[in-house]
Amino acid sequence: MAADTGLENLKTDCIAALRKGEEDAFEAAAASLQEFQPQDLAFKMETLGWLACLALKQNCRRSGFKALNLLAVSSLDIEQGDAAAEGVFLQSLRHVAVMAARTHDKELFAAAVSRLAVRYAKTGCAEENAAVFMRLLTALLFMASDRRYKDVLPMLIWLSLRLCRSEAVTDELLLPFLREWACLAAQSARRGWEDIAGLLLNGLFYILLKQGSFAATRSVLLYVMLHMQMYAAWDGVEKAFKVYAPVQNFSLLVLQRAVKEKDAAAATAYVRLILRAWRDFIAAAARQNMQDEMELYQNWFSFGMEGKSPKYCQRLRRFIQLTLGYWAGQQPKTSKKQLKYLKNIFEPDLVKGRYLELLQAAR
């Protein structure tokens, strides 16, 4: 009871100091919170998170940083497996980050993300808090994108990669998280923030490559390409190729992995996925723009080659040839009349050996 009373009194002192704008008095009172025993940890972290928010609201940035740092220090006392205390820390940190974003305090927002990264640099979150952590990262990604905190996004992507590879994260948690991430990229692209959209898409595909899950790759890639299709309908196909260039890069990497894959069924599944995805995108974009598919394949070829290295151009030429080959196999009547106008793409013909085998299997 005495401890509870002492904590409440210190909390009251901190609030009074913030109301008066006396940051020195606040720091002295807040530092005294560290003297309380571990059994008061949850209350202490909740209090520090609340005080950091109040400090930001009162425009006391120094006090806000002090409360955030004390919150991070207090989290070191969380015992392994104490999901309840960890949950309080995650929620408290989320409140601080939200308030920092609302008050346009980029520095403190970045500091909150940094404290989160430091805590989970070596250890994963408790299984019971995996869903809480997912919601926190989703919120942080949204705020960083919405405020265009370009420097903070790489740290959040790294954190997301660590969490996604944790055994505590099931497919039921992972797929909605990644699809929400894809939505953020689409929203950024729609607002004309190509740099933010590019960062988000590159981060998203990096996680998919590290995960190595066909189900996740299929779900997210098709979802992203649906957004790409809608973007092409609004702003044109050529701009869609530019803004969604990470999709092309990802597809080339998937193809490269499939060629080296020893499991024939897995290799075929991945190749069929990317070829079908691009064929369907070209077909849908052609209908939207009332064009023949051959025109869009030429546009894709021209855009893809522009400013790229000879090695990249060769890989892209092969991939477009594979896509055309898949299109011809799936829709022979439609493609037959148009393929003769695409001879420049097939000079030289790069679909040989292992690539030809995969194309035939994918058909």
261-320 pLDDT per residue, tens: 999 999 999 999 999 999 999 999 999 888 888 999 999 998 888 888 999 999 999 999
Exposure of 97 by Cβ count < 10 A (0-12 exposed, 13-18 middle, 19+ buried)? buried
Identify the pLDDT of residue 4. 60
For residues 291 and 180, the model is more confident at 180
Residue with tokens 């209090």: 47
Instruction: Report the Cα 254 to chain-centroid distance in Å.
Output: 18
Q: What percent of the chain has pLDDT over 90?
A: 61
Q: Establish whether the linkage from the previous residue to 38 is cis, with ω within 30° of 0.
A: no
Provide the mean pLDDT of the chain.
90
| Over residues 128-141, mean pLDDT | 91
* 125 neighbors 168 (Cβ within 8 angstroms): yes
Which tens digits make up the pLDDT trace of 195-236? 999 999 999 999 999 998 999 999 999 999 999 999 999 999
CA-CA distance, 47 to 288, in Å (whole number)?
A: 55
The answer to which of 138-147, 159-168, 291-300, 321-330 has the lowest mean pLDDT is: 159-168
Predicted confidence at residue 1, as pLDDT, reads 40
Q: What is the pLDDT of residue 16?
A: 86
* Cα(355)–Cα(78) distance, integer angstroms: 53
Report how far residue 306's alpha carbon sits from residue 308's, in angstroms, rounded to the nearest whole number.
6
User: What pLDDT score does 2 carry?
Assistant: 41
Beta strands in the chain (DSSP E): none
The pTM of the full predicted model, rounded to 2 decimals, is 0.91
Which range has the worst mean pLDDT, 9-13, 103-107, 229-233?
A: 9-13
- What is residue 78's predicted lDDT score, i.e. its pLDDT? 87
At 37, the pLDDT band (50, 70, 90 cuts) reads low
Among 87, 144, 84, 83, CA closest to 113: 144
What pLDDT is stored for residue 99 in this prediction? 95
DSSP string spanning 46-75?
HHHHHHHHHHHHTT-HHHHHHHHHHHHHHH
Distances (CA, A) of 95 to 36, 114, 144: 23, 15, 14
Show the tokens assigned to 342. 């695409």
Per-residue pLDDT band at 108 (split at 50, 70, 90): very high
